[in-house]
Structure 1
Amino acid sequence: MAHLATAPGPRRRRARERLRVLGFLSPWLIGFTVFFGYPLTATVYFSFTRYNQIQPPSFVGLRNWRYVFTQMPLFGPALWNTLWLVVVMVALRVVFGLGTGLLVTKVKTGAGFFRTAFYLPYLAPPVAATVAFVFLLNPGTGPVNDALTALGVPAPDWFNDPHWAKPSLVLLSLWGIGDLMVIFLAALLDVPKERYEAAQLDGAGPIATFRYVTWPAITPVVMFAVVTGVVQTMQYYTQALVAGKLASGVSVGPGTTVQPGYPDHSTLTVTQLVYSLGFQNFNTGAACVLSLVLFAIAMAAASLLMRGRAGLLGAEDRP
């Protein structure tokens, strides 16, 4: 009888603990539901409807999905451009960011100046930075081509050439490498000096020291940079759109509609196509299909990377 009388006590304590935990989690749960759960559910629903943001949506089944995968001519180029930027831009940004961080750690005098100089371009607003970069690489009046011509080097057309437009965007992203430089710099400075001293006593050279001392210590940070870079580049929009508009020479003003992707759809990304379909052509159903495809690819890529299949993590760091 005494056991039965005291049994509800532990149950009530566990219930209070659960309520307390839910109370602490409630801000995150509310934010997740409002800003992720509901939009994702609505996107899935609208992908099966005909919806122009004015009239009520009407169910059309798989018609939007068939249209995107079989009838939309720009889906293939947009997806290719997006995946190209993900692979090339993320890889080069990680390499250049790590290289810049290593370079700054070796500077003995004026390290603070170089840190600031490398980080400042990242602080420039994306639109302003793109405008400046398009001006510098202008094939007719840009100083970069003038310098190349003076040196006898063939000057590309940069943003006006379909073959050079995406590499030009990569150069723009490398110019603003300051964010990754700071992250890698913090990771490099956090490597215990005792490990470097032990490697030096063992006669290890610079390459062996980086491979066996530095790299194992910074692989979690490299993983973070790669995963976040993939997710961000899958949503690449502003720089490609602004560069294409400026390079095309089209005057943009109120009521003016400019098709993205100049030149020859070489800078068209999936996010630009989503905006064009959803907010310029009011085809919300097809735009939602593209959004879900982009979301699925980003989640699959992030999952593969976080599982360590790319070899970025050591066995002790893998989940």
Structure 2
Amino acid sequence: MTALASARRAGVAKDKAPARSVSRRREARAGWLFASPWLIGAVFLTVGPVAVSVLLSFTRWNLSSPPVWIGIDNYTELFASRDFHNSVRVTLTYVVLGVPLFQIAGLAVALLLNRRLPGIGIFRTILFLPAVLSGVAISVLWLQLLRPEGPVNEGLRAVGVADPPGWLSSPGWAIPAMVLIGLWSIGTSSIIYLAGLQNVPDQLYEVAKMDGAGPIRSFFTITLPLITPVLLFTLLDGVISAFQVFDIAYVLGGSRGGAGGSLSFYLLYMWNEGFRNARFGYASALAWVFVIFAAVIIVFIFKTSNSWVFDESEES
């Protein structure tokens, strides 16, 4: 009887196996069906254009005639171009000047917002408002503020500056003007820093206070190490955003990049070559140089982060 029961169970298991296989195939087909809109979009709107841009970077194409294969001539030309060198210089200057200031200012504001004061929620909301505005709206606002006779220069004259700078008309002040606008829009990084600060356990500060540590020492020994993962995130986000400046530079300086090309950021230069000069092959080469250079910077930040980012899992 035992052998007969075992045989019957084996027969039932064999009957169920094909049913499970059919059910799994149906689930797989259903999964692919539901994912197909995203997959089709990824192929035709992301992967496809990226692959085409690689090929176009080796061609001369003005959109009205078929692409002509020219090899690496686009890359040779761009590295010899003064306009290319100027756009790289402008972009890197903004990154070097702006990103550290944005990080320091964002963290400083977050430390203030982390204090338990009456009405602090209102101040947090007000601070975050510039972050939800479009780049064009911000540009139009600051275009008026930075006029020679605008509120910023009038304020400088009121405090004794007899000859205020020509923010947008002077090549030497264009990048500082962009940094000033960026500082006004640090709400996003401040909120991210604030979230990191509120995750630091209060018990650590209490123990440090019992040991005689003051606010400054507590900041450098407790706060700063524990928010280094947040610092890494905001640093990466800041670098990527600084490399991608376009709309504000376009509105403030026009398509030519302002006085003496002082606002000719890399993406603005690439846009001019592609859509104003109809040199889509050359613009594609510019795009790939940009992608490779940005990727090198980001990989470098990730590689060096092991030496300064605190990882709680490693301590445990």
Equivalent position of 2:62 in the other structure: 52
Percent identity between matched residues is 36
SS of the residue aligned with 2:62?
Answer: coil
Letter in 2 for 1:134: L
Match among 80, 84, 99 for residue 75 of structure 1: 84
Match status 1:134 vs 2:143? yes
SS of the residue aligned with 1:157?
Answer: coil
* TM-score, structure 1 normalization: 0.84
Letter in 1 for 2:158: A
Deviation at 1:304, TM superposition (A): 1.2
Deviation at 1:273, TM superposition (A): 1.0
Equivalent position of 1:264 in the other structure: 260
1:282 and 1:69 map into 2 onto residues whose CA distance is: 19
| CA pair 220-27 structure 1, distance change in 2 beyond 3 A | farther
Structure of greater Rg: 2
1:37 and 1:265 map into 2 onto residues whose CA distance is: 34
> Unpaired segments of 5 or more residues in structure 1?
246-258
Equivalent position of 1:201 in the other structure: 210
Please give the per-residue CA displacement for 1:85-114, whole angstroms capped at 9, x wherever unaligned.
122222111111111110111251221121
Match among 176, 190, 207 for residue 167 of structure 1: 176
Equivalent position of 2:294 in the other structure: 298
Match among 259, 270, 275 for residue 271 of structure 2: 275
Match status 1:150 vs 2:146? no
Letter in 2 for 1:50: R
| CA pair 188-90 structure 1, distance change in 2 beyond 3 A | same
Letter in 1 for 2:57: S
Letter in 2 for 1:36: T
Match status 1:181 vs 2:190? yes
| Number of residue equivalences | 297
Q: Which has the higher helix share?
A: 2
1:48 and 1:276 map into 2 onto residues whose CA distance is: 19
2:41 and 2:312 map into 1 onto residues whose CA distance is: 33
SS of the residue aligned with 2:241?
Answer: helix
Equivalent position of 1:93 in the other structure: 102
SS of the residue aligned with 1:159?
Answer: coil
1:298 and 1:78 map into 2 onto residues whose CA distance is: 14
1:178 and 1:308 map into 2 onto residues whose CA distance is: 27
> Unpaired segments of 5 or more residues in structure 2?
1-9
Provide the alpha-carbon RMSD of the alignment: 2.7
Match status 1:286 vs 2:282? yes
| CA pair 280-186 structure 1, distance change in 2 beyond 3 A | same
Equivalent position of 1:314 in the other structure: 310
2:43 and 2:100 map into 1 onto residues whose CA distance is: 33
Match status 1:66 vs 2:76? yes
Residue 236 of structure 1 contacts residue 271 of structure 1 at CA under 8 Å; is this kept in 2?
A: yes
SS of the residue aligned with 2:168?
Answer: helix
Residue 226 of structure 2 contacts residue 310 of structure 2 at CA under 8 Å; is this kept in 1?
A: no
1:138 and 1:317 map into 2 onto residues whose CA distance is: 52
Letter in 2 for 1:37: V
1:207 and 1:29 map into 2 onto residues whose CA distance is: 52
Residue 223 of structure 1 contacts residue 312 of structure 1 at CA under 8 Å; is this kept in 2?
A: no
Letter in 2 for 1:219: T
